Chain A
């Protein structure tokens, strides 16, 4: 088991190394470079040729990208992700600052998705094929096919523009600093409602569909018949026996759905002007902020690789039939 984890972790490191290499090459191949934004900067101060050359030198743009990549990698190994071109602050600090809002969104919605989808999945298995179950399955299917940014736009249109019940974007209201703690929490919650809804409904639909399919297969197996034969109630059978055996693939699937969560965050955070990692990535990309793009890509890829690894290991830990030797 341990040797398996170690081997997988090593492979993961190689994957990360290759991924960062590919992305670095790609980002450097993008026409236009960050000094262009500097030169036409907000202050309007025109830079001279020498200053531009100086700038390019500090950014490592004068070297071939493989050389620049090597020095980036060297710095990374000492724990230094570099400094953002645009914001002149360490990349690691920027990422850590943005991680909070993103985690707030994703963890909240992930927990919500569990709390909603597990009962829904159980209900689906309990009433499988009945009219109410088929209706809820149809609704879940519709939600599953609804793209999250379309929902985001519809919700903004309905609650933000037409009804004006909820704030349109950002994490805090304009007068946030003047509020009491209690009001601050309320303000934050109001700003959370729309983005969390957009993050959650898709996951709920996905997980519920998965549980429904999985549970309906499990309940046809012999050990469920045995449980029923010894006189257990349907509820106890579902929760204590069927759900348990469905949890293994469920855990795996949740681990594998991480990449979609990150891709989603780039679009949703942009729509809601949410100051998280997706938004940071989008801006970094727009301004060719190489160190920031690289730092964020590495973080995203690391989370994906770790998610897959954890899912596999958990799977092996829970299911005695799986051996990885």
Chain B
């Protein structure tokens, strides 16, 4: 599988991953989905540049500050602003307390963690609560007066983090257990297969609710760990099946004859060849993890802390049923990201399917 059969256009045959990338790119929908996810990732990382009420860079009393960093690392704004009683409201205070100051603000003056008050900027009205979409609050506001666009944008940070991190945990557990079971067989296989069966027999939501509740004040990383700890079974099953298939092949026998230790055979020889179906499962898993996080937040089992999350905004709709924008936009964000990850997974599967290679 590592060697693709020679393609007529390129005399030396391409490697497996280059060939896969080439084939993946020719699947327009899957490639578009990958671009969408990449764009979402960029938007999530750069959210404070798009929507926020803290200057990206400002000069105050002769020094230059970067107050937007607060959106990445919580914990007390830069001492000066706290001392001078800025109370989050930068534009008016900057002008009042240091007329020679200057500042560059994010594209939209809205905030996912607080309500924008009147006269923070000149002629600025107070953000309404339960306000429908307007030019100022493009996607409306929730019952606290927080901007929904900002909530959805910062929610994508949560989704990205949960999706990628929890699946990294799940993949680490699943691949190692699956590899051990498949490679060694015997008692290891028996024990691990039973563990997989056990994990599969408890409905995920039961396990997740229980695990999550054990921690009194779970933060986002606890939630990530809980989701990761409950989503490894499918990955383990696929890895095990691949290892069962591959361990009898000649190249493994050759490696063994050369005296390679078992961990080298597993991770250097077999795993690269078993990776394709595992990555497909993993990508579907990211979509599932995003879904789980928003479902948990929707049910009121969200992580403690102020993090914006699509599920939290959705659950806000439950007590404000007239505000359609509270349901439609976060719901759309969930749908689109799940769709994109599914498309990527399917595209990757097509691209690595040996039966479809020419």
Q: Which residues in window 268-314 of B have CB below 8 A to A?
A: 287, 291, 294-295, 298-299, 314
Closest 3 CB pairs of A and B: A145-B339, A26-B210, A150-B331
Q: Could you tell me the distance between the alpha carbons of A285 and B314 in the complex, rounded to whole angstroms? A: 22
In angstroms, Cα B205 to Cα A305, docked, is 16
A300 at the binding interface (Cβ < 8 Å): yes
Chain A CB within 8 A of B258 CB: no
B216 within 8 Å of A (CB atoms): yes
Q: Does B28 contact A (CB under 8 A)?
A: no
Interface contact A262-B203, CB-CB below 8 Å: yes
Decide if A154 is an interface residue (CB 8 Å cutoff): yes
B-chain residues with CB within 8 Å of residue A45 when the two chains form the complex: none
Closest Cβ neighbor of A138 among chain B residues: B29
C-alpha spacing A235/B198, complex, angstroms: 43
Q: In the complex the two chains form, is B342's CB within 8 Å of A145's CB?
A: yes
Segment of B46-54, B63-71, B101-109, B322-330 in the binding face: B322-330
Q: List 30 A-B contacts (CB under 8 A).
A: A15-B197, A16-B201, A19-B198, A19-B202, A23-B207, A30-B214, A142-B339, A144-B342, A145-B335, A147-B294, A149-B295, A149-B298, A150-B334, A150-B335, A153-B317, A153-B327, A156-B321, A157-B317, A157-B321, A157-B327, A157-B328, A161-B321, A161-B324, A259-B204, A263-B205, A270-B299, A285-B213, A297-B202, A304-B201, A304-B203
Known: A22-B198, A145-B339, A149-B298. A162 touches B324 (CB 8 A): yes
The yes or no answer to B114 lying at the interface (CB within 8 A) is: no
**Assembled-state Cα–Cα distance A68/B321 (Å):** 44
Within 8 A of B (CB), among A239-268: 259, 262-263, 266-267
Q: Which residues in A have their C-beta under 8 angstroms from that of B197? A: 11, 15
Q: Which residues on B sit within 8 Å (CB–CB) of A43?
A: none
Q: Is the CB of B202 within 8 A of A30?
A: no
Q: Does A67 contact B (CB under 8 A)?
A: no
Interface core residue of A11, A157, A270 (most chain B CB under 10 Å):
A157
Q: How far is the CB of A240 from chain B (nearest CB, A)?
A: 27
Interface residue A207 (Cβ < 8 Å from any Cβ of B)? no
Nearest CB in chain A to that of B208: its residue: A263
**Residues of chain B contacted by A107 (CB below 8 angstroms):** none
Give chain B's interface residues, CB within 8 Å of chain A. 194, 197-198, 200-207, 209-211, 213-214, 216, 287, 291, 294-295, 298-299, 314, 317, 321-322, 324, 327-328, 331, 334-335, 338-339, 342
Measured CB to CB, the closest approach of chain B to A298, in angstroms, equals 10
Asked if A26 contacts B214 (CB within 8 A), the reply is: yes
Given B200, B324, B334, which contacts A147 in the complex, CB threshold below 8 Å?
B334
Interface residues in A134-159 by Cβ distance below 8 A to B read 141-142, 144-147, 149-150, 153-154, 156-157
A304/B200 in contact, CB under 8 A: yes
Secondary structure of the A side of the interface? helix
Question: Known contacts A30-B210, A147-B338: does B295 contact A267 (CB below 8 Å)?
Answer: yes
Is A267 in contact with B328, judged by CB distance below 8 angstroms? Answer: no
A15 touches B201 (CB 8 A): yes
In contact, B328 and A23 (Cβ under 8 angstroms): no
The reply on A301 being an interface residue by CB < 8 A is yes
Chain A residues, Cβ within 8 Å of B342:
141, 144-145
A174 within 8 A of B: no
A199 interface contact, C-beta 8 A: no
- Which residue of chain B is the closest to A259 with respect to CB atoms? B203
Bound form: Cα–Cα A24–B328 in Å: 39
CA distance A141 to B287 in the complex (A): 14
In the complex the two chains form, what is the Cα distance from A18 to B198 in whole Å?
A: 7
The answer to whether the Cβ of A274 comes within 8 Å of any Cβ in the partner chain is no
The distance in angstroms between the C-alpha atoms of A19 and B206, with both chains bound, is: 11
Known: A146-B335, A157-B327. 7 other contacts (CB 8 A): A14-B194, A15-B198, A19-B202, A26-B210, A149-B298, A285-B209, A285-B213
A31 within 8 A of B: yes
Q: How far is the CB of B34 from chain A (nearest CB, A)?
A: 15
Please give, as numbers and ranges, the residues of chain A lying within 8 Å of B291 by CB-CB distance: 147
Measured in the bound complex, the distance between the Cα atoms of B230 and A259 in whole Å is 13
A19 to B202, CA, bound (A): 7
Provide the bound-state CA to CA distance between A141 and B214, in Å.
37
Smallest beta-carbon distance B114→chain A, Å? 26
Q: Are A30 and B213 closer than 8 Å at their CB atoms?
A: yes
Please give the distance in Å from A262's CB to the nearest CB on chain B: 5
Q: Is the CB of A22 within 8 A of B335?
A: no
Q: How far is the CB of A155 from chain B (nearest CB, A)?
A: 10
Q: How far is the CB of A194 from chain B (nearest CB, A)?
A: 14
* A27 with B210: CB separation less than 8 A: yes
- CA distance in complex: A29, B215 (Å): 9
How far does the Cβ of B355 sit from chain A's closest Cβ, in whole Å? Answer: 10
Pick the residue among A15, A149, A267, A300 that contacts B206 (CB under 8 A): A300
Q: How far is the CB of B195 from chain A (nearest CB, A)?
A: 9
Given contacts A145-B338, A153-B314, A162-B324, contact A301 B201 (CB under 8 A): yes
Give A149 to B202 CA distance when docked, in angstroms.
21
Chain A residue contacts of B287, Cβ below 8 A: 145
Within 8 A of B (CB), among A11-66: 11, 14-16, 18-19, 22-23, 26-27, 29-31
* Given known A-B contacts A263-B204, A301-B202, A157 and B324 have beta carbons under 8 A apart: yes
